[in-house]
Amino acid sequence: AVGRIANTQGYGLEELGIPAERVVQTNQFLQTLYPNIYACGDVAGPFQFTHTAAHQAWFAAVNALFGDFKKFRADYSVIPWATFTDPEVARVGLNEQDAKEQGIPYEVTRYGIDDLDRAIADSEAHGFVKVLTVPGKDKILGVTIVGEHAGDLLAEYVSAMKHGIGLNKILGTIHIYPTLAEANKYAAGEWKRAHAPATVLRWLERFHAWRRG
């Protein structure tokens, strides 16, 4: 919560001429100035999370072992984080402030966890799931979750964004009842209702009214 300062002193980096201002400078393959020396984690930045350090470590190790045959670029396109307060706050991708600052158009879908059966049963009926999507399209731009086990709930959206899965697919996935994970499905349902084709719904309403006589 208070952040960390990368420990780059005492390793002889200066003698080797490896730049280490705040962090050790690396390329997209996590190589330093010397192609056979790799860096990852807090010393490499740009994120100071244990999970991103582990993510980088995989790329650094694989590139060190197999780089002569094939190199892999470290992928930071979908980085999740969580703050373990009470309630937890978890996020991946853009939030509204980011989207506004970057001039990215977006739509907001919000589901209140206070309506969720499991949250009510656990006396944790507070918080929300907020999803930003491309206007008129089923593409997730970012997700913010506030509530009990928000970090755990976020994992489904992290996977969805990583693999280009939209809210329709989340809505069509069976979620165990009663679990907090249902919040993700209900949030997807809110998006689906907001994007239901009004013309088709009106036609169906008239059709069923006609059938009833």
Cα first-last separation, the chain: 64
CA distance 39 to 37: 7
Reported as a pLDDT band with limits 50, 70 and 90, residue 2 is very low
Query: Residue 84: pLDDT above 90?
Result: yes
Q: Which residue in the block uniquely carries the two structure tokens 């970012």?
A: 142
Reported as a pLDDT band with limits 50, 70 and 90, residue 137 is very high
Reported as a pLDDT band with limits 50, 70 and 90, residue 51 is very high
Tell which wins on pLDDT, 200 or 179.
179
Q: Which residue in the block uniquely carries the two structure tokens 């944790």?
A: 124
CA distance 31 to 152: 32
- pLDDT number for residue 205: 81
Domains of the chain: 13-66 (no CATH), 80-194 (3.30.390.30)
> How confident is the model over 52-67, as pLDDT tens digits?
999 999 999 999 999 9
Residues ≥6 apart with Cβ < 8 Å to 199: none
